[in-house]
Structure 1
Amino acid sequence: MADDSRTDTSSQLSSPGDHGSIDSGFVSPSSSTVSLPRISLTQPHVKHLNKQLESLHPMDILRFCKIFFPNLYQSTAFGLTGLVTVDMLSKLDAESPQAIDLIFLDTLYHFQETYDLVERVKARYNVHVHVFKPADVDNVGQFEELYGEKLYDMSAELYDWIAKVEPLQRAYSELKVAAVLTGRRRSQGGQRGDINVIELDDERGVIKINPLANWNFAQVKAYVTEHDVPYNALLDQGYKSIGDWHSTVPVGEGEDERAGRWKGQDKTECGIHNKQSRYAQWLEQTAREQGQDIAVPAA
């Protein structure tokens, strides 16, 4: 069950404060080692919850999550699904005063339309947005001075780590996140095709909740239209899934919703939902190709 005392321990969730559980292969000087709040959920319990939540409307899933999970946040890049979640949460405010703050990863390479949308959402819903950027930089110029131009092309894995994975881990740690709402849906395909409503991310020590997991794009778009939810202006230009400007293009007729992300690449995720061990494997492979010896953390 949920435990807001922050003193419980669980074999299902590993704390990022335990260095033996971190398998990223990278170390950031800005990463915190503060332990996260703990929630004890066994796998059978999670299976039971998913069975009960599967048939519920996303609003009811969110209603349950606000009651059940302490230190609950929403991680969003302000895509349509995340915006629907924000709107639904605002409608639940009358029932429960517990505010759900947002976590936004500013990679520094978002479209201007995305930054404009962030301000519109803040004004519309009076929601607090915690912005996390790559460590030790505030703008593109500083980023490229440290890592060179077009790091996203030169080393996509390293870019993912620096711009997305490490900042999110820092957010989890600094905010003491116990559970986080995401905008993933099964209809988006790829690695998302079989996600559950509730997932244990035992590598990062948090519980991930996908409240709109069983909705499709048409349902999401219909909700946005019906409730006049603010959305990214790029949606009207053929974009359906919007990330960094350097890796996002409009979706063609008949293409999958996320077909415009990393077009032509063997890639479907930005990194924050990948296993941390993926980066250790990448580091080891890179070192091997360069003929270097490097100590890679054990899984």
Structure 2
Amino acid sequence: MSVKPRVDTANMDPRDHEPESGYASATSSESSLPEIVFTKPHLQHLNRQLQFLEPQDILRWCITTLPNLYQTTAFGLTGLVITDMLSKLQVPRPQLVDLIFLDTLHHFPETLRLVDRVRERYPHINIHIFKPAGVETAEEFAKKYGERLWETNEELYDWTAKVEPAQRAYRELNVSAVLTGRRRSQGGQRGDLDVLEVDEAGLIKVNPLANWTFDQVRQYIRENNVPYNELLDRGYKSVGDWHSTQPVAEGEDERAGRWKGKEKTECGIHNPRSRYFQFLMEQEQKRREEALAQALQNKLTTGPADA
């Protein structure tokens, strides 16, 4: 294991700035972030060992091994279990793990109320909230990006509401590693999830409850009286934005209520960053082509009068 610089995608508005790659660059002039680097054999070895540990033991390993460790959470059941487990490890204050919450401005009111309840239950844990750049409300978001962006340009919505705020959080907080609430039993792209992952930009992602089922998570919540989203008592199992979340029917997969009727299974922050680099390149190319076409149209319109 070694340490080297990592460069995250900077604070970008895809409509106002040139797109940048999320890949590490030794020539970048931007301030870099520390990165823990595992060789592939080391990563495979660690996963073989961590596979058989209880989540609490995985969390202890993370706290003692990974610097600049945070928990990313939308306050789903698994994330709440992790938060509760962390609160009971009785580690000294410098080793407490802060939370990162991405407020897309489109969460259910029940989710936002849950954030306040979590603060009350775990007063020693800091919650860092990041919103889409340059806006504070759903109304401001719609004014800047248009109504129902999640329908008119789904990729741009994911970038603006989730991916860019996440990358900004990692940069501003100097994040090297994050705890996530993903589990194999959630299905989709998570079916073959490892406990320990490293994304293409060098960010370490740890999934302490990768092996747990939904029933195990729910049992822990009940036995430990952990606060949870009241929507879960109304047929929801996985809660995201209000516009892309529905209750699930008996026997459906846990995340079947997310993006119903679509092939999509992830919100964006766990997709490869190069995917969004390519998307931003395409958006910028489209913008330039539209600007050129408009300039030519203006010239044709005003040309005879000028003559």
Specify whether residues 259 and 162 from structure 1 end up closer, same or farther in structure 2 by C-alpha distance, changes over 3 A only.
Answer: same
Measure, in 2, the Cα distance between the counterparts of 1:96 and 1:122: 16
Bigger Rg over Cα: 2
The residue type paired with residue 277 of structure 1 is S
Deviation at 1:16, TM superposition (A): 2.2
Aligned to 1:190: 188
Match of 2:43 in 1: 46
Residues 244-283 of structure 1 correspond to what in structure 2 (within 5 A)? 244-283=241-280
Deviation at 1:142, TM superposition (A): 1.0
C-alpha distance in 2 between matches for 1:60 and 1:291: 52
User: What amino acid is aligned across from residue 92 of structure 1 in structure 2?
Assistant: L
> 1 CA distance for matches of 2:142 and 2:20?
19
- Name the counterpart of 2:179: 181
- The count of aligned residue pairs is 277
Deviation readout 1:219-262 (Å, 9 max, x if unpaired):
00000001000000000000000000000000111100000000
Name the counterpart of 2:211. Answer: 214
Segments of structure 1 that go 5 or more residues without pairing to the other structure are: 3-7, 19-24, 295-299
Q: TM-score, structure 2 length as denominator?
A: 0.84
TM-score, normalised by the number of residues in structure 1: 0.86
TM-superposition CA deviations, 1:23-76 (whole Å, max 9, x none):
xx8469xxx943112213211111111110001110110011111111100000
For 1:259 and 1:226, the matched residues in 2 are separated by 26
Secondary structure in 2 aligned to 1:157? helix
Secondary structure in 2 aligned to 1:220? helix
Map 1:69-80; keep pairs closer than 5 Å: 69-80=66-77
**1:17–1:35 Cα contact (<8 Å) kept:** no
CA distance in structure 1 between the partners assigned to 2:222 and 2:174 by the alignment: 35
1:151 equivalenced with 2:149 (yes/no): yes
Q: Give, in whole Å, the separation in 2 of the partners of 1:288 and 1:106.
A: 29
Q: List gaps (5 residues or longer) in structure 2.
A: 11-17, 22-28, 292-307
1:155 maps to a residue whose letter is: N
- Superposed CA offset, 1:110-155 (max 9, x none): 0000000001001101111000000011111111110111001111
Instruction: Report the Cα offset of residue 292 of structure 1.
Output: 3.4
- The residue identity in structure 1 corresponding to 2:206 is I
- Alpha-carbon distance in 2 for matches of 1:235, 1:247: 15
Q: Moved runs in structure 1, 4+ residues, more than 3 A?
A: 25-28, 94-97, 280-294
Larger relative contact order (Cα-Cα within 8 Å, sequence gap ≥ 6)? 1
Q: How far 1:284 sits from its partner (Å)?
A: 5.5
Distance 2:218 2:84 in 1: 13
CA distance in 1, matches of 2:163, 2:283: 18
Over aligned residues, Cα RMSD in angstroms?
Answer: 2.5
Q: 2:7: which partner in 1?
A: 15
Q: Aligned in 2, Cα 1:158/1:36: closer, same or farther, shift over 3 Å?
A: same
- Letter of the 1:112 partner, please give it: P
